[in-house]
Amino acid sequence: MKLLHSLPLSATLLGGLFIAGCSNSAPTASTDSNAASTNTAATTQSEEKLSGKPFQIGYNQWIGSVGVFLAKERGYFKDAGLDVQMKQFPGPADSVPPLIGGQLDAALTTADTAILLSQQAGENPVKNVFITDTSAGADAVVAQGNIKSLKDLKGKTVAATKGQCNELLLLKGLRSAGLSDKDVTITNMDADAAGAAVVAKKVPAAVTWEPWITKARNAGAKVIYSTSDAPNLILDVVTVSQKTMTDKPADVRALVAACARGNEYAIKNPREAAKVAAKYFGSTEKEALDMMTKVKLYTGADNARLMGTEAAPGPVAQSAKEISDFFVSQKVMTGAPKGSFFNATYLPEKS
């Protein structure tokens, strides 16, 4: 079973990328202009009609997408008038280029991937319109049994994917322990290979994800730091392109509402959700249920709080800034982010 979350990008792909990310500040419109904008938005929404065309979503096998899978399996998309067609990709980095190219209408990806690849978009930029979940223990630093804490990593080798969010997780953990990247030797491996290496006792520690975290524990390793210690660092999102928003605005609105409905069902009915996840992953229901405990699913109301507004950005704006600052420091993108990378206008009014 291979539950992919975030894949390393090639040096060729990373070279020269820079993004339009989140900003913590935005001009505040006057009351009259806000009212006019609201009236215009309401009129636009009332005029929106479903396209009646298939809606293509790219996805990878990640437990945090369970609400989207539920929306498909339980007919929430159909109830909303959508003909959703799901196309599987090896990892979240793989679905964004075809989204930008117009072959997909939406992609289930990670916020960091969407931010990093956005510069490729040109005239077809991408926006995150729904946050499905945050990793809350499903990504972790695991270490051999003789390493008791992050401080014990000093002078040791740690396997991690350089220039990606799991390296950011490691650096954040090291900083909390009074260490830096100069105190360890980071060997570049994707998260699956890193997990396998720590299980085989080829490296003292690694940054990996499920199911390798569980495999490592079964092999005698332990979790010494995880995304449960770093809330909202690794976010999973529904991303759409400008083309999708222009051509199918009502479809996007219906999509987001159905995804929110799916997440709400999964939160209230985890065992039923695990059955659907197991079907998509080829896992047992017990395995899927255990993995669900390591992500935090977000409702529509959660999304509204997390995204905030253009004038008053929510907490994810800071998360996006932290991610983009990391990419700049790693020289995989240049320049500070400008504008908001999240679009809350498609969220249901009540959830």
Q: What is the pLDDT of residue 2?
A: 41
Q: Two tokens at 222?
A: 């332990």
What tens digit of pLDDT does each residue of 30-58 get?
A: 333 333 333 444 445 656 899 999 999 99
Q: What is the pLDDT of residue 282?
A: 83
Neighbours of 81 (CB within 10 A): 15
CATH number given to 139-229 = 3.40.190.10
Tens place of pLDDT for every residue, the chain, 351 residues? 344 454 333 333 333 332 222 223 333 333 333 333 334 444 456 568 999 999 999 998 889 999 999 999 999 999 999 999 999 998 888 999 999 999 999 999 999 888 888 767 788 999 999 999 999 999 999 999 999 999 999 999 999 998 888 899 999 999 999 999 999 999 999 998 999 999 999 999 999 988 899 899 999 999 999 999 998 899 999 999 999 999 999 999 999 999 999 999 999 999 999 999 999 888 899 989 998 999 999 999 999 999 998 889 999 999 988 888 888 888 887 765 566 789 999 999 864
Domain 11-134+232-346 shares a fold with domain 139-229: yes
Strands (E), the chain: 54-59, 83-88, 106-110, 126-135, 139-143, 157-160, 185-188, 205-209, 222-226, 235-241, 295-297
Place of tokens 């223990």: 137
Q: What is the pLDDT of residue 46?
A: 54
Mapping DSSP to helix (H, G, I), strand (E, B) and coil, where does residue 58 land? strand
The CATH architecture that domain 11-134+232-346 belongs to is: 3-Layer(aba) Sandwich (3.40)
Domain-wise residue ranges, the chain: 11-134+232-346, 139-229
pTM comes to 0.81
Nearby residues of 230 by Cβ (< 8 Å), 6 or more positions away: 169, 172, 173
What tens digit of pLDDT does each residue of 148-160 get?
A: 999 999 999 999 9
**Cα separation values, 300 from 58, 130, 208, 242, Å:** 21, 8, 29, 21
Burial of residue 158 (CB within 10 Å: 0-12, 13-18, 19+) is: buried
Q: What is the pLDDT of residue 37?
A: 37
Q: What is the pLDDT of residue 36?
A: 36
Give me the half-sphere count of Cα atoms (radius 13 Å) on the Cβ side of residue 330. Answer: 23
